[in-house]
Amino acid sequence: MILSEQDLTALWVTIKLASVSTLVLLIIGTPIAWWLSRSQWRFKFIIEAIIALPLILPPTVLGFYLLISLGPNGPIGGLVNLLGGAPLAFTFTGLVIGSVFYSMPFVVQPLQNAFTSIGSRPLEVAATLRASPLDRFFTIVVPMAKPGFITASVLGFAHTLGEFGVVLMIGGNIPGSTQVASIAIYDHVEALEYGQAHWLAGSLLLLSFLLLVVVYGANRRYTVAQP
Amino acid sequence: MSIALRFNIQRDAFTLNIDTVIPENGVTAIFGPSGSGKTTLLRAIAGLEYTEDGYLKVGDILWQDNKTFLPTHQRKVGYVFQEPSLFSHLTVAANINYGLKRSKSPTSQDGLQQALDLLGIEHLLERMPWQLSGGEQQRVAIARALATNPSMLLLDEPLAALGDEQKAAILPYLESVYKTLDIPVLYVSHSRNEVARLANHCLLLDTGELKACGPISELFTALDLPLARQANAESIIEALMSSYDEKYGLATLVFSGGQFSVASKPLPLNANVRLQVLARDVSITLKQQINTSILNIIPVTIDQMVKENNAQMTVRLIADGTVLLCKISCKSVDDLQLKPGDKVFAQVKTAAILI
């Protein structure tokens, strides 16, 4: 076995984390992106800035604040505590919450761009053809924004794969539950296990590359199909 | 099904203020210069333009008042937008089906087939929108709107985005669709020729105000409206085909007040035709001329006269209910001592058959 059992587990936790986070992000991010693309609210830019914050904020800063708010005395942790739940810091659920904040701009921005480029005309046409608002969203917006959804999913997934600072701050490094591949690589390097670091790093490199090939390939197919 | 409407719409630098009733049948043109509020009016009727102060009753169904605002998808309209707006991710057939399967009372299979035939798009059904020309896309858009079996058809300059050739190619399709429909058609246009060809009634808009409304033969010839005062003023006459002279290729067309011989291809007997007579092709003579090359001379009464400038005058002539406009020189008016009420003869050099 080239990858140790612990490495495989770390890889599995990473992929699970990225998948769950992407799913949550699509569910939360789609209405946010839709609202951002349609709203005429004059202070909309403030929300846009907040969503874009993780792009420039050092992950340790984001992680630090998340750690505070997820902790038993923080707003999120306190609420969970009040409802009888277990503390979220140093758990997989905590990691998902962190990743959702961390990767939000990578999902919301492509979706927002895709929604904006559709414009209002196709929706007006659908309305005159008796389609209700929800019907219009699923039969017109979703298919027309398909490239945007593919880009958003893959970027959200890939960005979560590479997460390091946030996970380190709020997840600790518990093998089998919160140890992800990027941190496992760091541990290997610290222990001078370069061989194992190579295999794990190579796996992540290949996975990320394949994902980006899918994104660019899909976008190319859509632009070629509609000259 | 008549349409009673009252809208008061304020937008940045623009106000639309209109209160009128649109006749139940036939094509009503919404005519006016750019920025006069034509499109806004159409969008308000479809519910695409939200208005707090508005009233709209179609037949005996209230679509909008101070308390009610039926959203667009609950209004039984067929809407054709200015630029072709087919759904780019759906085939032509799926575009047409989109409204068909959502309508509570869609058009029958026969009705749909008739629309496909009238618009000549049956061979396009499997294609994607980007494989169609602009004119074909608009024909599909019209079929898609008709498939929902609407209570009214709203067309927002459907030919504006097309070139002259495509325009000429689609007009006959539009005419045949209008002739077979028994719902009100509202047609936004700033092209006087399209209105002359297609419309029965007309709403004349200018800077958001309704200037006049009525049958186009009246609106085109009312001297207190701008249409009759333009250099290319025209009269529209509805006539009936009564006989055809094979030898000279002349159709005899009868209307209240007289008859005209017009060069034309053979037409079916008793066909309804619409004649266009340009005001500058009409002259006045006091006595009926003989030995003249002009075929069409009818007795008329001078109704009104308006001086356009020092040289030219527009004269409104009536022949038993039919109105003819005529542009003549002021000198002729003085020489012949013409005044309202005089019985004279109108000589018509050419009349064109529009449809």
Tokens of A214: 């899918």
pLDDT > 90 in chain B, percent: 30
Mean pLDDT (whole number) for B149-170: 84
A117, A123, A128: best mutation site toward chain B, by most B Cβ within 10 Å? A128
Q: Partners of B8 in the beta sheet?
A: B17
Query: Of A217-221, B146-150, B239-243, B339-343, which gets the smallest average pLDDT?
Result: A217-221
Q: Is A223 on the interface with B (CB under 8 A)?
A: no
What is the C-alpha to C-alpha distance for residues A99 and A93, in angstroms, rounded to an integer? 10
Residue B313 to residues B226, B325, B329, Cα–Cα distance (Å) = 14, 10, 6
Nearest chain B CA: its distance from A31 CA (Å) = 22
Q: Name the nearest CA neighbour of B94 among A118, A119, A114, A143.
A: A143
- pLDDT tens digits, one per residue of B171-189: 888 888 887 888 889 999 8
ipTM here: 0.83
pLDDT at A225 (0 to 100) = 47
* A124, A130, A133 member nearest B99 (Cβ): A130
CATH of the domain spanning B234-353: 2.40.50.100
Tokens of A187: 């541990």
Taking CB atoms and an 8 Å cutoff, what residues of chain A touch B99? 128-130
CATH of the domain spanning A5-225: 1.10.3720.10
CATH of the domain spanning B3-219: 3.40.50.300
Residues forming CATH 3.40.50.300 domain(s) in chain B: 3-219
**DSSP codes, A122-151:** HHHHHHHTT--HHHHIIIIIHHHTHHHHHH
Q: Nearest residue on chain A to B87, judged by CA atoms?
A: A122
Q: For every one of its 227 residues, what pLDDT tens digit does chain A have, with 9 covering 90 and above?
A: 577 888 888 888 888 999 999 999 999 999 999 999 999 898 999 999 999 998 898 988 988 998 888 887 878 877 887 787 777 778 888 889 889 999 999 999 999 999 999 999 999 999 999 999 999 999 999 999 998 998 899 889 988 988 888 888 887 777 777 788 888 888 889 888 888 899 999 988 998 888 888 878 877 766 544 44
Task: Provide the whole-model pTM.
Answer: 0.82
For chain B positions 137-166, those within 8 Å of chain A (CB to CB) are 144-145, 148
pLDDT at A227 (0 to 100) = 43
Q: Nearest residue on chain B to A123, judged by CA atoms?
A: B87
pLDDT at A4 (0 to 100) = 81
pLDDT at A221 (0 to 100) = 67
* A122, A129, A143 member nearest B99 (Cβ): A129
Q: Is A5 on the interface with B (CB under 8 A)?
A: no
Is the CB of B87 less than 8 angstroms away from the CB of A122? yes
* A131, A132, A226 member nearest B88 (Cβ): A226
- pLDDT tens digits, one per residue of B12-71: 778 888 888 888 778 899 988 888 888 889 999 999 988 878 899 988 889 998 888 999
Query: Where do the structural domains in chain A lie, given as residue ranges?
Result: 5-225
Nearest chain A CA: its distance from B74 CA (Å) = 6
Mean pLDDT of chain B: 88
